[in-house]
Amino acid sequence: MTLRLVSGLCAAGLLALAPAAHAQEKFTFMTNWYAQAEHGGYYQAVAQGIYQKAGLDVTIKMGGPQVNIIQIMAAGQADCIMGATDTQMMVARGNGLPIVNVAAIFQKDPQVLIAHEDVKSFEDMKGKTILIAPTAMRGMWSWLKGKYGYTDSQARPYTYNIQPFVADKNIVQMGFLSSEPFAIQKAGVKANTFLLADQGYPPYANLISCMEKTVKEREKAVAAFVRATAEGYKSYLNDPAPANALIKKDNPNMTDDQLNYGISKIREMGIITSGDAARQGIGIMTRDRLLKTQAFLV
């Protein structure tokens, strides 16, 4: 990948200058998983009429396992998507797909490693079996190998099932701050959770990602969506109840306990409002940060 790639991924600054969208323009956004606390700002902007005030009629579609949201967007079935991380989008763009990240809602990637209670540090994980999703091998796993000297012989596929971890104290698994640690806690297993971002893992997460064509042809709508989403997340952090009602409607398996756990962790760890966002607002991306991510992908 080249510097040109990184430049093409950072359009938020230009979009912030664009005027508002025309009245009630239809806009479809697709998340990367079932509705949950991480998606709260999008749902809050619907529930509180923030998108409507911005001139948008927004439909939120849920992603899920085995759903390729990038392909769905490329086929024109979504205007923009929730990119999991900027590494994912860099790889997609490097493979020739003209994707642009226009905002990064999460300043910290909420990916974690979860280990049994005897493991006190990343260094203690050497020699352990580590369950990693295939989609995380290029980004998260590459960074872990470079920083901590882990080897590919340790890695096994993570299938989004915590039972192997519960059954084997030699296993470490990846997860997301507001999800797997909660499930493991509910299973009665004592574990330690390690947030990669607090060790210098640079990728952004919860991106608003669009096709270049969409950004060029619907610049006002995309800009309005970005601004309204940032306002939605600010509102969600203060009072998540309106969004949570819609989240549970879209995802009936979601519980109040898990939503409360998720939002508490997002607040506690500064996932949205730390770093550059504390000074420049929710959604900010910087060139220096993108270059750090690019460096370990090359």
Domains identified in the chain, total number: 2
Amino acid at 23: A
Determine the pLDDT at residue 57: 98
Q: Which among 137, 87, 102, 142 has a CA at the least distance from the CA of 17?
A: 102
Determine the pLDDT at residue 21: 55
Domain identity same for 91 and 31: yes
Domain identity same for 72 and 128: no
Give 48's contacts (C-beta < 8 A, 6+ positions apart).
232, 235, 242
Domain identity same for 137 and 192: yes
Domain identity same for 97 and 122: no
Interval 205-216 mean pLDDT: 96
pLDDT (tens digit, 9 = 90+) per residue, 121-153? 999 999 999 999 988 898 899 999 999 999 999
Domain identity same for 137 and 163: yes
Give 42's contacts (C-beta < 8 A, 6+ positions apart).
29, 31, 58, 60, 82, 229, 232, 243
pLDDT (tens digit, 9 = 90+) per residue, 78-99? 999 998 877 778 888 888 889 9
Domain identity same for 131 and 262: no
Last residue of a domain, one of 141, 165, 199: 199
Q: Angle at which helices 40-47 and 241-250 pack, to 10 degrees?
A: 110
Amino acid at 148: Y
Contact 135, 63 (CB under 8 A): no
* CA angle in degrees (0–180, nearest 5) for 193-261-280: 85
Determine the pLDDT at residue 19: 54
Average pLDDT of the chain to the nearest whole number: 91
Domain identity same for 289 and 168: no
pTM for this predicted structure: 0.90
Give 258's contacts (C-beta < 8 A, 6+ positions apart).
36, 37, 178, 179, 182
Domain identity same for 193 and 210: no
- Domain of 14 in residue numbering reads as 3-108+202-297
CA–CA dist 175, 96 (Å, integer)? 29
Give 260's contacts (C-beta < 8 A, 6+ positions apart).
none
Last residue of a domain, one of 199, 231, 251: 199
More confident residue, 2 or 35: 35
Domain identity same for 194 and 207: no
Confidence of residue 293 (pLDDT cuts 50, 70, 90): confident
Domain identity same for 195 and 209: no
Domain identity same for 153 and 282: no
Determine the pLDDT at residue 244: 99
Domain identity same for 91 and 211: yes
Last residue of a domain, one of 145, 173, 199: 199
Q: What is the side-by-side order of every strand in the sheet holding 80-85? A: 56-61, 25-30, 80-85, 205-211, 99-106
Q: Which tokens in the block code for residue 25?
A: 């323009």
Residue 248's domain is classified under what CATH number? 3.40.190.10
CA-based torsion, 92, 105, 137, 158: positive or negative: negative
* 210 phi and psi angles, rounded to 5 deg: -140, 160
